[in-house]
Chain A
Amino acid sequence: MSEPDASAVAAGTDTPLLELRGITKSFGAVEVLRGVDLKVRSGRVTALVGDNGAGKSTLIKGVAGIHNFDAGEYFFEGAPVEVHDPKTANALGIEVVYQDLALCNNLDVVHNMFLGREVTRGVTLNEDEMETRARKTLDGLAVRTLHSVRQPVASLSGGQRQTVAIARSVLWNSKLVILDEPTAALGVAQTEQVLRLVRQLADNGLGVILISHNLGDVMQVADDIAVLYLGQMAAQVDTKDVQRNQVVELITAGRSGDIGLSPAMAEVVL
């Protein structure tokens, strides 16, 4: 309970939770990221948008430690850090919820949330402790859609599964949660549930990066929007300062009016 409060205080300061400066990454001759800057603050939802191939996945995998960046600076809570593998990222408090969720259908909700990090008493599993903590986490996220945490994941709907995956990511005092297309496969009502949950994460004081193709979702839930355009950060703007059509222009052309890449920069790319 003390964790969100501490983060909320940090949100008031000027130090971003995550800051990337001048990140580059190439795969062979292909330059995927070309000097990307990004700031993510605690208590805010930062949407990361961009067309296919803009470099969203590469950027996120670098933050999570799956790929290494070629060059650039990586700050977490104001301090420069070296993240070369997923374990380091987890230790910092960075959790990624992938699109395929990585849940075991044959296990129940509690088992999935604690998978690989089971709480034990001697050699035996401490089921009571895990169930209590799972319940507490779900309650903390104001989740009302799960009747029993002892039902197998196979019996859950797509939205409920997304909920379980997100709840798992915040069990471990995480500070930054990265969500990869959490609403891509969901219907209208379930999308609404998941977006409410995403909002709740930020309101609990966590930093949230939301990758999405759905601008409706982005405009509804995000506090600021970072637009990647062919490996460059076209702009990171406050959601309240832009219109939907401006974001579309930023995604498709790299610039919109006086925001975005300079015309010269945008053309160099082409």
Chain B
Amino acid sequence: MTTTAAEQAAEGQRPEGIGGAARAYIDKLRGGDFGSLPAVLGLAALVILFGSLKGDRFLSSFNFANLLGQGAMIIVIAMGLIFVLLLGEIDLAAGVTAGMCAAVLGVTMTEHGWPMPLALGACILTGIVVGLAQGVLVANFGIPSFVVTLATFLAFQGVLLLIIGEGGTIGIRDDTILAIQNDNLPVWSGWILAAVIAGGYAGLTLMRRRSRITAGLATEAFTVWLAKTGFLVAVVAVVTFFLNEERSRRPEITSIKGIPWVLPLILVLFVGLTFLLTRTSFGRHVYAVGGNAEAARRAGISVARIKVICFVACSTLAAVAGILFASRDNSISPSTGGSTTLLLAVGAAVIGGTSLFGGKGRIIDAIIGGLVVAVIQNGLPLVTEQAGIQYAVTGGVLLIAASVDALSRRKSVTG
């Protein structure tokens, strides 16, 4: 109620507090910058839809953990794709790169008896080399990324076949690799993790607020900070509580509860990559190249170098997704990372709010968009068994997201 008084007092000026923040946000939406709002609304709508149709199965904590595991690969590949999408480029091979790197992991461990860390290194190194090669072809040879990665998309499927051998699969037996997607944090450490996340966010944002106030710069109102922090604490608490519930169908035989290991892994990637993109010169230059490559070049930024690094980041994250594939499927097959994997990852990034035209996107988009994709993939089979409908709906959602992206871009250009 105090905000209303403040608004009246400072008419014409931008009001402080939550009212002001809300107004600024509405201005931003009017300007065509929707951010992740459509994805968050879509996610809520889908959860309500599937919840009301098949609530008993869809809304169970078992299914929630399952959904995270299903979505994890898509989310990690999408995180990598955001680097190249920010440049206005594309990596069509990211999915099969994940499959190929997973095969390297499997073959070196199973057939050559390499110790797990060494095999992991080989898997990641494969991703780095792939990204380096694709990046140089795009940035230094000037071949459109669409063509380069369409070629590697085909080639890597072949390499995957050659590594595995026709028709075969490679089993994964390493306990640590399998644990990522199949084991959970103990219940108590889940709560510690939750406390670290909430406390870390509150502490860091409060420190940044302090330093801006000391520097005499405009700062968001304390009530806005309080609301944001409160919201985050609530989300973290609900997710932790939900995942700490017993979700085994027969608890007396095996107990399944706790946060799946893959969740902290995704959080670490999210925090690290977000830091890289928003708090370092490198990240700033990525946005600059995507926004106006010529301006970036004149400002002394090596555009080719930035492009190569982004392609390396994309393929390396695809390799990480490959590890998740190996962990979840317990094996690598010639179809690992193929089929609709890439389409879903691009869809996740775009649904989350990353632009296909470059210059706009955040790592969180991969998580929000990835959850939307995972909910569709997970919820639709509960409602209908027809694969045709599942494909059509997923394609439709991607098309809607791309339309929102194109329309918001047009709005911000004319407005």
Residues of A with Cβ closer than 8 Å to B? 98, 100-107, 111, 115-118, 120, 123-125, 128-129, 131-132, 148, 150, 154-155
> Contact check: which of B212, B285, B294, B295 meets A128 at CB < 8 Å?
B212
Binding site for A on B (CB under 8 A): 31, 211-212, 215-218, 279-281, 284-285, 287-288, 290-292, 294-296, 298-301, 359-360, 412-413, 415
| Residue in chain B with minimal CB distance to A87 | B300
* Residues A116 and B280 in contact in the complex (CB < 8 Å), given A106-B287, A128-B217, A154-B412: no
Query: Which residues of the other chain, B, contact A118 by a CB distance below 8 angstroms?
Result: 281, 284
Chain A residues within 8 Å of B216, by CB:
132
Residues of B within 8 A of A150 (CB): 218
- Checking A104, A123, A124, A131 against B287 with a beta-carbon cut-off of 8 angstroms, the contacting residue is A104
Chain B residues closer than 8 Å to A117, beta-carbon distance: 299-300
- Whether A115 contacts B284 by the Cβ 8 Å rule is yes
Cross-chain contact of B291 among A101, A105, A124 (Cβ < 8 A):
A105
Q: How far is the CA of A104 from the CA of B291 in the complex (A)?
A: 5
Cα of A59 to Cα of B212 in the assembled complex, Å: 45
B292 touches A102 (CB 8 A): yes
A102 touches B295 (CB 8 A): yes
Determine if A124 and B292 form an interchain contact, defined as CB atoms under 8 angstroms apart: no
- Whether B284 contacts A105 by the Cβ 8 Å rule is no
B284–A132 CB distance below 8 A:
no
New A-B contacts (17) at CB < 8 Å, excluding given A104-B291, A105-B291, A125-B280: A102-B292, A102-B294, A102-B298, A104-B295, A106-B287, A106-B290, A107-B284, A107-B288, A115-B288, A115-B301, A116-B285, A125-B284, A128-B211, A128-B217, A148-B218, A154-B412, A155-B415
List of A residues within 8 angstroms of B291 by Cβ = 104-107
**Cross-chain contact B359 with A105 (CB below 8 angstroms):** yes
Name B288's contact: one of A104, A124, A128, A148 (CB within 8 Å): A104
* One of B215, B279, B298, B300 near A125 (C-beta < 8 A): B279
Q: How many A-B residue pairs have CB under 8 A?
A: 75
A104 proximity list for chain B (CB < 8 A): 287-288, 291-292, 295-296, 359
Q: Which of B217, B284, B301 contacts A131 (CB 8 A)?
A: B217
Docked pose: A226 CA to B187 CA in angstroms = 79
| Given A123-B280, A148-B218, CB of A115 within 8 Å of CB of B295 | yes
Question: In this complex, what residue of A is CB-closest to B282?
Answer: A123
A58 to B305, CA, bound (A): 30
Please determine whether B299 and A116 come into contact, CB atoms closer than 8 angstroms.
Answer: yes
- The docked-state distance in angstroms from the alpha carbon of A123 to that of B276 is 10
By beta carbon, the residue of chain B nearest A116 is B299
A120 to B298, CA, bound (A): 20
Q: Which residue of A lies closest to B32 (CB)?
A: A154
By CB atoms of chain A within 10 A, which of B287, B299, B360 has the most?
B299
Complex Cα distance A132/B212, Å?
10
Bound CA span A48–B216, Å: 41
> Looking at B290, B291, B359, which has the most chain A CB atoms within 10 Å of its CB?
B291
Q: Say yes or no: B217 contacts A106, CB within 8 Å.
A: no
Measured between beta carbons, the chain A residues less than 8 angstroms from B212 are 128
Residues of B within 8 A of A155 (CB): 31, 412, 415
A105:B217 contact, CB within 8 angstroms: no
**Which of A111, A115, A124 counts the most B-chain CB atoms under 10 A from its CB?**
A115
A103 / chain B contacts, CB cutoff of 8 Å = 292, 295
Complex Cα distance A233/B289, Å? 39
Closest approach, in angstroms, between the C-beta of B213 and any C-beta of chain A? 10
